[in-house]
Structure 1
Amino acid sequence: MRNWTATEASRRFSELLDAIEHGETITITRGNRAIAEIGPARRRTGADLRAALADVPPPDDRFEADIDAARHLLTADEGDPWADA
């Protein structure tokens, strides 16, 4: 891990991205205080999504009806729904 000042990171942004692309994590500092850590992006998988949604309850029956109603609004040939507003 390396430290770069905010000014250095700004002036050498392309080099910063190259270092990150090669696996480095860079700490950006301003006034001798760490303000950000930038590192390689982590590849996301279906397992990550499942883990993120593990504690989210499944949609209820009303959700399906709401989606159908929204889809109908997008596909209906009724003209502008806001014309009378």
Structure 2
Amino acid sequence: MTATEASRNFSELLDAIERGETVTITRGNHPVAEIGPARHRTGADLRAALADIPTPHDSFAEDIAEAVALLEPERGDPWADA
């Protein structure tokens, strides 16, 4: 499908994709994009990506708090009264 056709028939393009089709968009007879159905994400990809990352050091939370304090010194510690 050309870019012009995709633009003029966008609703139909989305209908086709919703049915499970993957559509190649061309410009000047050259493919420039492939549009397909969105993947249903459950978080499994994120869990797999994080599986090999070591647990942060115990002082990590303190380091983050110190960095935030440098960015917002006038607000102070929002957790001080917690």
In the superposition, the TM-score normalised over structure 2's length comes to 0.69
- Do the aligned partners of residues 30 and 56 (structure 1) sit closer, same or farther apart at CA in structure 2, a change above 3 Å counting? farther
C-alpha RMSD of the superposition: 2.5
- Any gaps of 5 or more consecutive residues in structure 2? 78-82
Which of 41, 63, 68 is 1:66 aligned to?
63
- Letter paired with 2:40: R
Residue type of the alignment partner of 2:10 = F
Distance change (3 Å), C-alpha of 1:31 and 1:55? farther
- Report whether the alignment pairs 1:11 with 2:12: no
TM-score of the aligned structures, taking structure 1 as reference length: 0.67
CA 1:42 to 1:62, structure 2 compared with 1: closer, same or farther past 3 Å?
A: same
In the comparison of the two structures, how many residue pairs are matched? 74
Over the matched positions of the two proteins, sequence identity in percent amounts to 71
Deviations 1:32-66 (A, max 9, x none): 11100000000111211112223444333443123
Q: What corresponds to 2:80 in structure 1?
A: none
More strand by share: 1
